[in-house]
Structure 1
Amino acid sequence: MTLTSPRELRPWRPLAADVPSLTDRHGLFHVELARSQGAASPHDVGLEMEAQLSWMTDAGLRPGALDSHSGVLYSHRGGPLMDTALRFCAENSLGFRLPRRLPRLLDVTVRGPLRRRYDEAVAAAGAYGVRLPESIIGAWLPGRLLTGYAQLRRNVLSQLRSLPDGVSELIVHPAPAAAAGLLDRAEGRKRMWELRLLQDPLFLRAIRSERIQLVPAW
């Protein structure tokens, strides 16, 4: 579900009509995450989620789970959008891309209100019967903090080797040079490294040696 415009491309419009809390005065999604989260009303979010899901089903697509572009629905700053998303998933038999367990780095650093909101969301998903991945792993450091491809690969392999039982997801944003060139230099370079990772013999051997079974969806 997309409720924000990208920084590197032309801005996007909602599919639903009359959702003013999601848009600027030109009828376009906001770029800033804080603006999107702070202004969005649950009613408008619900209308837009319905419109986007209808667009997908009309196109013959059958999504198994809901993801939130830029994390708007995760309600990092509080508010009711997470519950809106979970209810929508329950009503439409969708999973939700929220890890049942936080990555190790986040598990030791996420505290206070943010941790309470996360724990409440996991509990609410269970109460609504919404499927969650057991964990989500990936190259979490921003591009500017990565010194090279070897660091990115080492970080992902470490997480791969400590996966819990159950179905987990590896999230990457692989991109060839032509697409990466549209982004900030450091982030574009990171995305090219993520593409390289998926083809790396060492990465593929780690999947086999850890006896990880690849599945098309969770």
Structure 2
Amino acid sequence: MKKSIFLSLSLIVFFWASSSPARGQTYAEKLGYPKGKKVVIFHVDDAGMSYESNQGTMQSLDFGIATSCSIMMPCPWAANFIHQAKAHPEWDLGLHLVLTSEWKTYRWEPLAGKQLVPGLHDPDGAFWHTVEQVVQHASPEEVYIELKAQIERALRLGLKPTHLDSHMGTLFAHDKFLEKYIQVGVEYDIPVMFPGGNNVLLEESMTAPIIRKLKAEGKYHDGMPIPKPEILLKSQALGKQIWEMGLPVLDDLHTISGDWKPDHAHSHEELGQYKVDQFKRILEKMEPGLAMIIIHSIEYSDFFKRFSGSGDSRYGDLLAMTDPELKSYIEKEGIILTTWREVMERRKRLIQP
């Protein structure tokens, strides 16, 4: 595999029915997992974002069913997490590539500096708050420079990332950003999170917020068809391209556990149980193949509330990850838990002479 490969999305003709692993082998089967099995990476996002995020991530990996995590390198607590993780070489540590800084009062800045990536800086000098602002102001070349800066910082700190993924999905919001994401993965020989299979859970993840918005506006009725987002229409063809470049590909991806909230007032224990039930629901819903399920665990603290209203939900994720009921369910159903490290090792064995 040549590291100089440049993927041009404009040269790919996307057909929904083309080369679909869902109609033949799943990517899990291609990687050597048993046919018909559900293989899952429980993945903790946002390590490095805060002390609470670091503690929640470590507890999810140490005492829970989480098998992987990714670190936000521009954030203040990233180096702390990496230094602590050196005592746990078995942990599966990737990079949560950052192009946004979403909170009002707690911000982080691009690592490449304003001279090299001016379009990634908002008037405060931090990343822009929203994905839409990044798409409006930043060039693909600036994105590429910043992604490399984040990877290089991790390498300087002694971390060889097991994979790359995208904070707030920004790298999936623009075709040229997606090109650069895949390009750095190929250049550094690091797997990129990309769902190119049946995408049953990804479709739920992408359409549920649309339905919720329409319901709030009084514009939704049961059975109302929701158009498939563009990424779903082209994901299988692009997944095939990534696989042919020598990197592993997911069959599915779930991204919205942070949106799960009971309809009634709840205690933390009730929220944890609610999330356990929801994780069991999506594990039942997923089709055989390799899926990544994203969570956001924190150790609970009142301080976290000073910059984010998501603390209860994130603590609920930690409670679910460490709940014996969910672990027992996974074992009973014969679901295989894996890591990005193992997935890449399996992919490499397929291309070695």
TM above 0.5, yes or no, is yes
Q: What is aligned with 1:15? A: 111
Q: Quick one: which of 288, 298, 314 aligns to 1:191?
A: 314
Contact 1:66–1:96, Cα closer than 8 Å, also in 2:
yes
Identity %: 21
1:82 aligns with 2:178: yes
Q: Quick one: which of 35, 51, 55 aligns to 2:149?
A: 51
Per-residue CA deviations over 1:135-158 (Å, capped at 9, x if unaligned) read: 233653625565462443222102
Q: What is aligned with 1:3? A: 99
How far residue 132 of structure 1 moved from its aligned partner, in angstroms, is 2.1
Greater relative contact order (Cα < 8 A, sep 6+) = 2
Letter of the 1:167 partner, please give it: L
Distance in 2, Cα, partners of 1:54 & 1:87: 15
Larger deviation, residues 174-183 vs 35-44? 174-183
| Unmatched segments (≥5 aa) in structure 2 | 1-96, 208-225, 265-269, 344-353
1:211 aligns with 2:348: no
Contact 2:108–2:126, Cα closer than 8 Å, also in 1:
yes
How far residue 91 of structure 1 moved from its aligned partner, in angstroms, is 1.6
Computing the radius of gyration over CA atoms, which structure comes out larger, 1 or 2? 2
Distance in 1, Cα, partners of 2:164 & 2:257: 20
Contact 1:4–1:69, Cα closer than 8 Å, also in 2:
yes
Contact 1:94–1:131, Cα closer than 8 Å, also in 2:
no
So what's the TM-score if we normalise by structure 2?
0.54
- SS of the equivalent of 2:153 reads helix
Q: What is aligned with 1:32? A: 130
1:161 aligns with 2:284: yes
Does the C-alpha gap of structure 1 residues 142 and 112 become closer, same or farther in structure 2, counting only changes over 3 Å?
A: closer
Letter of the 1:5 partner, please give it: S
Q: What is aligned with 2:254? A: 137
Distance in 2, Cα, partners of 1:174 & 1:8: 21
Per-residue CA deviations over 1:2-61 (Å, capped at 9, x if unaligned) read: 111131552211111311111124432111221012222111111111111111011110
Does the C-alpha gap of structure 1 residues 205 and 106 become closer, same or farther in structure 2, counting only changes over 3 Å?
A: same
Q: Quick one: which of 161, 166, 177 aligns to 1:63?
A: 161
Distance in 2, Cα, partners of 1:191 & 1:143: 10
Letter of the 2:305 partner, please give it: G
How far residue 209 of structure 1 moved from its aligned partner, in angstroms, is 0.6
| Unmatched segments (≥5 aa) in structure 1 | none
Distance in 1, Cα, partners of 2:155 & 2:321: 30
Q: How does 1:113-132 map to 2 (within 5 A)?
A: 113-132=230-249
- SS of the equivalent of 2:134 reads helix
Letter of the 2:204 partner, please give it: L
Does the C-alpha gap of structure 1 residues 114 and 216 become closer, same or farther in structure 2, counting only changes over 3 Å?
A: closer
Letter of the 1:56 partner, please give it: A
How far residue 112 of structure 1 moved from its aligned partner, in angstroms, is 5.3
Q: Please tell me the root mean square deviation across aligned C-alpha atoms, in Å.
A: 2.7
Distance in 2, Cα, partners of 1:177 & 1:141: 15
- What number of residue pairs does the alignment pair up? 215
Distance in 2, Cα, partners of 1:27 & 1:141: 28
Q: Quick one: which of 152, 171, 176 aligns to 2:275?
A: 152
Per-residue CA deviations over 1:39-88 (Å, capped at 9, x if unaligned) read: 2211111111111111101111011211111111011xx44111111122
Distance in 1, Cα, partners of 2:167 & 2:251: 20
